[in-house]
Amino acid sequence: MNHQHLHTAKDGITRCWWCSDDPEYINYHDQEWGRPVADDFLLFEKICLEGFQSGLSWLTILRKRENFRKAFAGFDFNKIAEFDENHVELLLQNSGIIRHRGKIEATINNAHRALEAVEEFGSLASYIWGWEPESPEPHLGKDICSYPIPAITKTSQLLSEDLKTRGWRFFGPTTAYAFMQAMGLVNDHIEGCAIRKSVVELGSEFLNPSQHFYGNA
């Protein structure tokens, strides 16, 4: 057990080090992070918010998440794909979100790409979960990863490259791995984290939608 990367919060519960004592981070860590997600809109939301996070902390995005949901139609990509330049200008005036034209336009672009994925794979989830690694992968890259979990893996790099080929924007390999961690494609709760066992159990019970799709194709 690597105690260096565990943190015992004021409630006496030992968790992954990164959520510290912040109540919002703790709730996100305990109730969301690493739990398998098969809902298309939640997957799309995370893809978009990871893009908006670039250069910022996840806590900053987490505290604005409800504002983002209101601004982007609950991350229903069917609706976002209909956004035009007028919507972009309105979003640039919305102080409740990150007002970055490139990221806003990328979200609209990615909504179109999500519709294409649904057309090809039956659902966005079927496409995404086709990238679930068979086993844990090491950190990839020349830089040294000082944490017990990777920042980039071979699969996250391949996922990022495939999405780029398909026309998605703001989704590099580091972003892709953070997405995989959050949506449960990998379980990076540290050994000794109080939440790890429940996430392992959820993962064992989870029906991979890509297997379901291909099994019925």
Structure tokens at 157: 């790099």
Cβ-in-10-Å burial (0-12, 13-18, 19+) of 35 comes to middle
Annotation says 50 is catalytic? yes
Task: Write down the catalytic residue from 28, 116, 131, 137.
Answer: 28
Task: Write down the catalytic residue from 58, 116, 147, 161.
Answer: 58
Closest residue by Cα to residue 43 from 167, 132, 158: 132
Which residues, at least 6 apart from 88, have a Cβ–Cβ distance to it below 8 Å? 101, 104, 105, 108
Task: Write down the catalytic residue from 25, 33, 45, 50.
Answer: 50
C-alpha span between 25 and 65 (Å, rounded): 13
Catalytic residue annotation:
28, 50, 58
